[in-house]
C-alpha cells in the first residue's frame, strides 16, 4: 500500500499547482479586459447637475479603484478566518524490500494565544477603514463635480456677458463713426471706440478658452477627456443656503476623513494585539503510522511539537505595532484639527461670497447699469464724451464679472463643505 502513497502525493501537488496557474491566468485576462474597457461618454446636448453626478458616480475611475480596494479588503477578512493547513509527511527508509520501513503521518498546527480571533478583528477593522475610504472618495467626487459644474455655468455666463459687451462696443463704434462723419467729434473718439471693441473681443476669446478648460475638467470626473455635451443646464444665481455653524460643527464628528482616522486607530490597535498573540508559540499535533517490513507490524506515531520562545519573542514587532498605534492616534488628532479649520474657512468663504453676491445683485449692478444707460444715451445726443461711455461700460462689465466670481466662490465653498462633511445635499436645493 505504501508504494502508491508518494506518487499519489506528487500527483495531488502537481494538480494543485496547475489549477492555481489556470486561475491566475484567468485573473490576468480579467484585469487586462478591465484595463482596456471603454471610457464613459455622456450624451450630446444639455447636461444637468444630477446627470453629471450620476455619470461620475457610475464611471469615475477613482471611485472604481476605491470599490476594488474594498473588495480586496473583504477578501482579507475571508482569509483571516481560515485555519492553518495540515501537512502530510511520507517517508521510506532502506531500499531493500525485506528491511524497508515506511512512515505516513499528518501534522496539524494549532494556533494558541487567540491568534485567529485577533487576526479576524484586525481584518474587520481594515474593512471599516476601507468603507470609510470609499465614502470619502464619494464625497470628493461629488464635491468636484458640483464645483466643476458651476464653473462651467459661470464660464457660460461670462461668454454671454462678453458677447453683450461686444455688441455694446460695436454699437459705440458705430455711433462714434457717425459723429466723426458729421464733424461733431474728433476721429480720436472713433479710434478709442475701436480699441475698446478689440479689447472686448479679446475678453470673449479668453472666456471661450476658459469654458473649454472647465468643460474638460467636468467630463474628467467620469473619465471622459473629450466632452460631448454642448452646455450645462442650471442657474448660477441660485445661491446655496448658509447652514448654521453649530450644526456643522456637530455633524463634523461623522465626517468620512475623521471616521477613516478613527478606524485606522482601531486597526492599528488590533494589529498590535495580533503581534502580542504571536508571542505565544503554536503547537503542532502529529498522528501517523510506521510500517516495518522486517518485523511485519505497524506502529502508531503520536507527537506534539511546541517551539521554545528562547531567542525570538516577537518583541520588535510588538513594539513597532504599538508605536504605529500611537502614530495613528496623533494623526486622528491632526485630522480633527485640520477638518475643523477647513470647515471654518469654507463656512466663512460661503458667508462672504453670499453677502458679496447679494450686494452686487441688489445694489451695485443696477446702479452701474443705470449709469451706463445714461452715459450711452447722453453720448448719442452729444451731451457726454466717449470716455464717459467707455468708463461706464467698463464699470458695468467689471461688476458683472465680480458678481459671477462671487457666485462661483459661493458654490465652490458649499461644495467644500459637502466634501468635508461627506453628506449628500439634494440637487434641488442648488
CATH number reported for the structural domain that contains residue 199 in this entry: 1.20.1600.10
Cell numbers linked to 173? 463704434
Query: Is there a domain that residue 170 lies in?
Result: yes
User: What's the pLDDT band for 224 if we cut at 50, 70, 90?
Assistant: confident
Judge whether 103 and 89 are in contact, CB under 8 Å. Answer: yes
Q: For residue range 41-91, list pLDDT tens digits in order.
A: 777 888 899 999 999 999 999 999 999 999 999 999 999 999 999 999 998
User: What's the pLDDT band for 23 if we cut at 50, 70, 90?
Assistant: very low
Cell 464733424 belongs to 183
What is the model's pLDDT at position 35? 42
Q: For residue range 78-116, list pLDDT tens digits in order.
A: 999 999 999 999 988 877 887 888 899 999 999 998 999
Query: Is there a domain that residue 10 lies in?
Result: no
- Taking CA atoms, 363 is separated from 350, 357, 388, 392, in Å, by 20, 10, 21, 16
Query: Is there a domain that residue 90 lies in?
Result: no
What interhelical angle do 386-421 and 115-181 show, nearest 10?
170
Of the candidates 195, 196, 220, 209, the one whose C-alpha atom is nearest the C-alpha of residue 158 is: 209
Cell 471603454 belongs to 38
Q: Which domain holds residue 262?
A: 45-85+114-280+328-429
Query: Is there a domain that residue 53 lies in?
Result: yes
Q: Where are the alpha helices (DSSP H) in 40-114?
A: 49-59, 61-80
Query: Domain tally for the chain?
Result: 1
Q: Which residues contact 124 (CB under 8 A, 6 or more apart)?
A: 77, 270
Judge whether 200 and 169 are in contact, CB under 8 Å. Answer: yes
Question: How far apart (Å, rounded) are the C-alpha atoms in residues 172 and 46?
Answer: 34
Of the candidates 366, 349, 368, the one whose C-alpha atom is nearest the C-alpha of residue 407 is: 349
Percent of the chain as helix, strand, coil, to the nearest 5: 70, 10, 20
Question: How far apart (Å, rounded) are the C-alpha atoms in residues 173 and 205?
Answer: 20
Please give the DSSP secondary-structure letter assigned to residue 275: H
Query: Is there a domain that residue 72 lies in?
Result: yes
Judge whether 139 and 419 are in contact, CB under 8 Å. Answer: yes
DSSP-derived 3-state class of residue 290: strand
Query: Is there a domain that residue 93 lies in?
Result: no
Question: How far apart (Å, rounded) are the C-alpha atoms in residues 111 and 80?
Answer: 13
Query: Is there a domain that residue 202 lies in?
Result: yes
Q: For residue range 107-163, list pLDDT tens digits in order.
A: 999 999 899 999 999 999 999 999 999 999 999 999 999 999 999 999 998 888 888
Query: Is there a domain that residue 101 lies in?
Result: no
Amino acid at each position: 500500500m505504501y508504494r502508491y502513497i508518494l506518487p499519489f502525493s506528487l500527483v495531488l501537488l502537481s494538480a494543485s499547482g496547475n489549477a492555481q496557474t489556470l486561475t491566475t491566468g484567468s485573473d490576468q485576462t480579467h484585469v487586462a479586459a478591465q484595463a482596456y474597457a471603454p471610457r464613459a461618454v455622456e450624451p450630446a446636448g444639455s447636461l444637468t447637475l444630477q446627470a453629471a453626478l450620476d455619470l461620475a458616480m457610475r464611471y469615475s475611475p477613482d471611485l472604481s479603484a476605491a470599490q476594488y480596494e474594498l473588495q480586496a479588503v473583504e477578501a482579507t477578512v475571508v482569509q483571516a478566518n481560515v485555519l492553518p493547513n495540515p501537512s502530510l509527511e511520507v517517508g521510506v527508509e532502506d531500499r531493500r524490500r525485506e528491511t524497508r520501513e515506511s512512515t505516513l503521518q499528518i501534522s496539524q498546527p494549532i494556533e494558541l494565544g487567540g491568534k485567529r480571533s485577533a487576526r479576524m478583528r484586525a481584518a474587520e477593522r481594515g474593512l471599516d477603514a476601507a468603507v470609510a475610504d470609499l465614502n470619502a472618495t464619494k464625497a470628493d467626487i461629488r464635491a468636484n463635480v458640483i464645483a466643476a459644474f458651476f464653473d462651467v455655468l459661470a464660464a457660460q455666463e461670462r461668454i454671454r456677458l462678453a458677447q453683450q459687451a461686444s455688441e455694446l462696443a460695436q454699437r459705440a463704434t458705430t455711433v462714434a463713426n457717425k459723429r466723426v462723419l458729421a464733424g461733431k467729434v474728433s476721429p480720436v473718439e472713433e479710434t478709442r471706440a475701436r480699441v475698446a471693441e478689440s479689447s472686448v473681443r479679446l475678453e470673449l476669446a479668453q472666456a471661450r478658452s476658459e469654458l473649454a478648460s472647465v468643460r474638460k475638467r467636468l467630463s474628467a470626473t467620469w473619465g471622459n477627456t473629450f466632452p460631448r455635451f454642448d452646455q450645462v443646464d442650471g442657474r448660477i444665481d441660485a445661491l446655496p443656503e448658509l447652514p448654521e455653524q453649530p450644526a456643522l460643527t456637530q455633524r463634523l464628528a461623522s465626517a468620512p476623513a475623521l471616521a477613516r482616522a478613527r478606524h485606522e486607530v482601531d486597526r492599528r490597535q488590533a494589529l498590535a494585539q495580533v503581534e502580542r498573540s504571536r508571542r505565544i508559540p503554536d503547537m503542532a499535533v502529529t498522528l501517523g503510522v510506521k510500517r516495518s517490513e522486517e518485523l511485519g507490524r505497524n506502529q502508531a506515531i503520536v507527537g506534539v511539537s511546541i517551539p521554545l520562545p528562547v531567542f525570538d519573542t516577537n518583541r520588535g514587532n510588538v513594539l513597532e505595532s504599538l508605536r504605529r498605534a500611537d502614530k495613528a492616534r496623533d494623526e486622528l488628532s491632526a485630522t480633527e484639527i485640520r477638518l475643523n479649520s477647513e470647515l471654518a474657512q469654507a463656512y466663512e468663504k460661503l458667508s462672504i461670497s453670499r453677502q458679496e453676491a447679494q450686494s452686487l445683485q441688489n445694489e451695485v449692478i443696477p446702479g452701474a447699469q443705470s449709469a451706463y444707460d445714461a452715459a450711452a444715451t447722453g453720448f448719442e445726443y452729444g451731451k457726454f464724451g466717449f470716455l464717459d461711455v467707455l468708463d461706464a461700460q467698463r464699470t458695468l462689465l467689471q461688476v458683472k464679472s465680480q458678481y459671477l466670481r462671487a457666485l462661483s466662490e459661493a458654490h465652490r465653498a458649499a461644495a467644500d463643505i459637502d466634501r468635508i462633511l461627506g453628506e449628500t445635499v439634494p440637487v434641488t436645493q442648488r
